[in-house]
Amino acid sequence: MRKRYEELEFTDDYLFGKILTSRPDLCKKLLEMLLGIEIKEIRPPEGQKTIETAYDSRGIRLDVYVNDEKGTVFDLEMQTVLKPDIPKRARYYQGAIDQSMIQRGEPYSSLRKSYVIFICTGDLFGKRLPVYTFENVCLEDTSLHLGDEAVKVIVNPDCERAGLSDEMKSFMELLKGRAATSGVAKDIADMITDVRRDRRWEGDYMTFDMKLREEREEGRAEGRAEGLLEGRIEMLVKLVKNKMLSLRDAAGQAEMTEAEFKAYMAEHEKREK
């Protein structure tokens, strides 16, 4: 069910993206706070950035994508549902980002440092850490880093608050839907109040929500179509195995070559074992 405009919070995709893309200063402050780094300046953030990889591979759409003056890439994702596939999503996103920043013939050294940051509303790992930062290290000697400059970050508001700065504590409160009292979280909360009063974005929000609904429905329709096709091909495989249909005719009905259909049959047999 779509939220009413006046009910939107920072953790809602629309407001999350709109605030950080329309206020680069807040985006910069948020990145500095979460990562503990200093950024001289950032280029205008992009919201809902789409990256297409190979024609037959799954593309991605990033909530907020931004570069700093060094070319470092930051991808900020808001995640309100804790799913076990988040680590692999982070891996896939980082790979897609890498593909988008290097052209054919360029050396691998031209790849820039990248951060994929999932801001969650709960604790994915149950360790009560405010920020989980992952880099590739050597298991035999953890002091040795691979140096590929690929960093994955998971933010957790269900953390121990001892030792956190007031600014970070306030941001964790914001993620839990409570009042923010200081730092970038307070600035974000103030902007949310202003946006709700202004309502200039309300029409844009309705369009955004409608587009998401349409894309979800298209995805469900594609999934249903793929399922029907898979079922039809499996039926053809059974008919061939039972010698009720020739390989040639089955391949033709599946719109495959005979070699492709044979390969599918072999894969089907593996799955059946």
20/145 same-domain check: yes
- Decide: helix, strand or coil at residue 66: strand
**Looking at the domain assignment, is residue 213 inside a domain?**
no
Residue 11 and residue 64 share a domain: yes
Same domain, 195 and 230: no
Range of the domain at 252: 222-272
Q: In this predicted model, which residue has the larger pLDDT, 220 or 61?
A: 61
| Domain presence at residue 28 | yes
Question: What is the pTM (predicted TM-score) of this model?
Answer: 0.76
Q: Are 23 and 136 members of one domain?
A: yes
| Nearest in space to 168 (alpha carbons), one of 113, 127, 129 | 129
Assess whether 181 and 227 both reside in one domain.
no
Exposure on the CB side of residue 13, measured as CA atoms within 13 A: 17
Note whether 160 and 255 are same-domain residues: no
Residue with tokens 């029907």: 228
**226 shares a domain with 188:** no
pLDDT recorded at residue 1: 59
Number of domains in the chain: 2
Residues 146 and 192 in one domain: yes
Residue 216 resides in a domain: no
Domain match, 119 and 162 both: yes
**Among 83-87, 220-224, 265-269, which is the least confidently predicted range?**
220-224
Using CA atoms in the order 109, 113, 118, 123, what is the torsion angle rounded to 10 degrees?
100
Of 148, 167, 200, which closes a domain? 200
Q: What is the mean pLDDT of the chain?
A: 87
- How far apart, in Å, are the Cα atoms of 100 and each of 20, 97, 123, 154? 22, 5, 31, 23
> Has residue 96 been placed in a domain?
yes
What pLDDT score was predicted for residue 272?
64
Say yes or no: 64 and 186 in one domain.
yes
Is the domain of 161 the same as that of 104? yes
Check whether residue 79 and residue 12 sit in a common domain: yes
Q: What's the pLDDT at 226?
A: 55
Q: Residue 46 region, left (φ>0) first, then alpha (ψ -120 to 50), else beta?
A: beta
Residue 212 in any domain: the answer is: no
Q: Is the pLDDT of residue 67 over 60?
A: yes
In a domain, 217, yes or no: no
- Per-residue pLDDT at 217: 60
The H or E element containing residue 133 is: strand 131-134
| Amino acid sitting at position 124 | L
Confidence (pLDDT) at 223: 45
